[in-house]
Homo-oligomer: A and B are copies of this chain.
Amino acid sequence: MHKIGIIAEYNPFHKGHAYMIDTIKSSYPDSAIIAVMSGDFTQRGEIAIYDKYYRAKKALEGGVDLVAMLPASCSLQSAQGFARAGISLLKELGCTHIAFGAEDDNLTVLKSLADTDIAKEDIAPFLKEGMSYPAAVERFYKSLGLDCSLAKSPNNTLAIEYLRAIRILKIDMTPILVKRCGAGYNSTDIDNPYPSAMAIRQALISGHITSEEGFVADTDLDEITLYSLKKALYDNSIRNIRGYHEYLENKLRKEADYTDVDSLITSVKSKDITYQAIKRHLCCILLGITQSESYPEYIRILGFTKKGQLCIRDIKGKTSLPVITTLAKAKSITSLTRTDDFAHEIYKDAYQRRNHTVLTPDYKRPPIIYDFSRSPFLD
Whole-angstrom CA separation of A352 from B352 in the bound complex:
24
Residues of B within 8 A of A227 (CB): 224, 227-228, 346, 349
Q: Which of B259, B341, B342, B353 contacts A349 (CB 8 A)?
A: B259
Question: Taking the complex as formed, is A235 at the interface, i.e. its CB lies under 8 A from any CB of chain B?
Answer: yes
Identical copies of this chain, number: 2
Question: Taking the complex as formed, is A91 at the interface, i.e. its CB lies under 8 A from any CB of chain B?
Answer: no
Encode A220-254 as 1/0 by CB contact (under 8 A) with B.
00011011101100110000000000000000000
Question: Taking the complex as formed, is A338 at the interface, i.e. its CB lies under 8 A from any CB of chain B?
Answer: yes
Encode A350-373 as 1/0 by CB contact (under 8 A) with B.
001100001001000000000000
Q: Which of B230, B234, B288, B361 contacts A231 (CB 8 A)?
A: B288
Residues of B within 8 A of A348 (CB): 257
Output the least CB separation between A146 and chain B (Å).
44
Whole-angstrom CA separation of A361 from B259 in the bound complex:
15
Whole-angstrom CA separation of A348 from B230 in the bound complex:
12
A342 touches B234 (CB 8 A): yes
Whole-angstrom CA separation of A256 from B361 in the bound complex:
12
Whole-angstrom CA separation of A288 from B341 in the bound complex:
22
Whole-angstrom CA separation of A338 from B228 in the bound complex:
16
Q: Provided the pairs A223-B223, A227-B228 are in contact, do residues A234 and B338 lie with their beta carbons within 8 angstroms? A: yes
Whole-angstrom CA separation of A153 from B342 in the bound complex:
42
Question: Taking the complex as formed, is A345 at the interface, i.e. its CB lies under 8 A from any CB of chain B?
Answer: yes
Output the least CB separation between A28 and chain B (Å).
42
B223 touches A353 (CB 8 A): yes
Residues of B within 8 A of A231 (CB): 228, 288, 342
Residues of B within 8 A of A259 (CB): 349, 352-353
Output the least CB separation between A134 and chain B (Å).
33
Residues of B within 8 A of A256 (CB): 345
Output the least CB separation between A327 and chain B (Å).
16
Encode A174-195 as 1/0 by CB contact (under 8 A) with B.
0000000000000000000000
In the complex formed, the residue of B with least CB distance to A339 is B234
Output the least CB separation between A360 and chain B (Å).
12
Residues of B within 8 A of A341 (CB): 234
Residues of B within 8 A of A361 (CB): 257
B224 touches A223 (CB 8 A): yes
A349 touches B288 (CB 8 A): no
- From 326 to 342 in chain A, residues with beta carbon under 8 angstroms from any chain B beta carbon are 338, 341-342
A345 touches B224 (CB 8 A): no
Specify which of A227, A256, A346, A352 lies most central, judged by the most chain B CB atoms within 10 Å of its CB: A227
Whole-angstrom CA separation of A338 from B234 in the bound complex:
8
Output the least CB separation between A364 and chain B (Å).
12
Output the least CB separation between A70 and chain B (Å).
20
Output the least CB separation between A359 and chain B (Å).
10
Whole-angstrom CA separation of A168 from B227 in the bound complex:
39
Q: Provided the pairs A223-B224, A224-B223, A224-B227 are in contact, do residues A234 and B288 lie with their beta carbons within 8 angstroms? A: yes
- A-B complex: 7 closest residue pairs judged by Cβ atoms: A224-B227, A234-B342, A230-B345, A223-B223, A259-B352, A235-B288, A224-B224
